[in-house]
Structure 1
Amino acid sequence: MLPPLKQTREGVVTLTCYIKDFYPKELYVSWLIDDKDATHDFRTTGSMEANGAFEAYSRLSVPLSEWDVPERAYSCLVHHESVEQNKIYVRSITQNSPQQTTMVNLNMRISDRCKAQ
């Protein structure tokens, strides 16, 4: 996850998720806001070859007024066939205050023993 770009003239904040070093080139990216599917439009580039692997970007644009809500978490989820089954990669960013932004990287393994009932 890259730090957000504020476009104050347009009243928008753009969040960028950079995905690199994956193969094969097909992947799926989704975005969450506070653990719910993002309702804002997002765009993911096509996979680009780089040093024998692939990379891509996904960008989510949210209104500046929404970004300014403290403690709201924006997460980029990357789904790719090379990732082990039951493993999820999540990158999140939260603005704690106008002066402080926090980024969190999670690699989670969902155990077969811990399935939702």
Structure 2
Amino acid sequence: MAATAASKPLASLNFSSDHPSRLALTPAQFKRCSEALDCLKKKLRMPYQLNQEFSHLETSRIMPSETKRNGIIALDGVNLSNILMSCHCIEHQLMELELRLNLGRTMDHLQRGTLMQASLQ
């Protein structure tokens, strides 16, 4: 049974001969990529400096105990209420902006003589 299933060719594995189009970089993107490549080539010539940089990253990373301590501070009652208040203010501003945008669209439709149904989501 397995031999017959394995002997049948899979139609889904027929790959297209069309190649994707080449991506074109802007001159600024090309310049930044070239600079980054040059920087990488220079760094690869100095493995000692690379090791130093990675060692520095390793020593400066946040430890799990620090993450837990910072989380406890953030979840403290006063801090948590400040965070929630900030989120509420941002959400309110976004809803107000959306309402203004929708109102502007409605006014445009009314001026054109068309009817638009208003909804607050």
TM-score using structure 2 length: 0.15
Structure number, greater radius of gyration = 2
Which structure features the higher share of helix residues?
Answer: 2
TM-score calculated relative to the size of structure 1: 0.16
Higher strand share: 1
Work out which structure has the larger RCO, using CA pairs closer than 8 Å and 6 or more positions apart in sequence.
1
